[in-house]
Amino acid sequence: MSPTITAFAQSPDRGRGLARDMRVRWALEEVGQPYEVRLLSFAEMKEPAHRALHPFGQIPTYEEGDLALFESGAIVFHIAQRHAGLLPDDPNARARAIAWMFAALATVEPPIVDRTIAALVERDRPWCAERLPLVEDRIRDRLGELSSRLGEAEWLDGAFSAGDLLMTHVLLRLRGSGLLDEYPSLSAYVARGEARPAYQRAFAAQLAVFTGDPPAG
């Protein structure tokens, strides 16, 4: 039985793949697992039926038989554990790939989300002009450190892993801010992730929700 995930019926990003269902779709595509999607309005996300799956009334969720999960990182981890292709077999390499999953979500993503809040939600506040550069400098610190660690490598630790998948998706949210362009090796890293056929399929599927056109193929 195919798992079912939830996604925005009307994503605020207009199909640019920035909502967090995209990372789950990408993981499922990487491992070749077909899936169903249940689209939700903002109102439906807050209804009891959905809150039973997701205590915070958000997307994405994941249902597979009698298992229901929320939190995109936990969902990607579950997919990576169940299928080959997203985590190495060697126990130490696997532990390091999992560390990169946590790094993406716990160390790199928070200041990036903060920037979105500062730039969009708080932009009319009198202190926004002072706060935004501070948040952006915190992002630069992380990007500089990440770029140093990546060096000339293709991926963060050997072969492409769930750590790279999450890190790439987290970094994609900076597109358009100009910040990623300051780190050419990270821009190239993100471009490598986007060029993966599984990413392309996932992107097309979520874009089709916005355009109303079924994805080609």
Coil vs helix vs strand at 143: helix
Residue 4 in tokens: 């079912």
**Binding residue count for ligand GTB, defined by CB under 6 A:** 14
Residue 72 CB, shortest distance to ligand GTB, in Å, is 4
How many Cβ atoms are within 10 Å of 57's Cβ, its own excluded? Answer: 16
- Binding to ligand GTB by CB under 6 A, coded x per residue (else -) over 24-53, reads ---------------------x--------
Determine which residue in the list 3, 5, 15, 20 makes contact with ligand GTB, applying CB under 6 A: 20
Tally of CB atoms within 10 A around 87: 22
Asked if 142 and 107 touch (Cβ cutoff 8 Å), the reply is yes
Cα(91)–Cα(43) distance, integer angstroms: 43
Q: Tell me the C-alpha to C-alpha distance, in Å, between residue 116 and each of 68, 113, 128, 135, 210.
A: 29, 5, 12, 10, 21
Whole-number minimum distance, CB 200 to ligand GTB, in Å? 19
Q: Per the structure block, which two tokens stand in for 121?
A: 């939600």
Nearer to ligand GTB, 47 or 154 (CB): 47
**Is 184 among the residues that bind ligand GTB (CB under 6 A)?**
no
At residue 179, φ and ψ (nearest 5 deg) are -70, -40
61 lies in the site for ligand GTB, by CB under 6 A: no
Q: What are phi and psi of 62, to 5 degrees?
A: -145, 125
In the complex with ligand GTB, the residue whose CB is nearer, 13 or 213, is 13
Among 71, 122, 157, 194, binds ligand GTB (CB under 6 A): 71
Does the footprint of ligand GTB cover residue 98 (CB under 6 A)?
no
**For ligand GTB, the closer CB: 123 or 144:** 123
Tell me which of 12, 32, 176, 184 binds ligand GTB, using CB under 6 A: 12
d(CA 173, CA 188): 15
Three-class SS state of 28 = helix
Q: Which of 9, 18, 98, 207 binds ligand GTB (CB under 6 A)?
A: 18
Q: Is residue 58 within the footprint of ligand GTB (CB under 6 A)? A: yes
Instruction: Kindly state the smallest distance separating residue 150's Cβ from ligand GTB, in Å.
Output: 23
Contacts to ligand GTB by CB under 6 A = 11-13, 18-20, 45, 57-60, 71-73
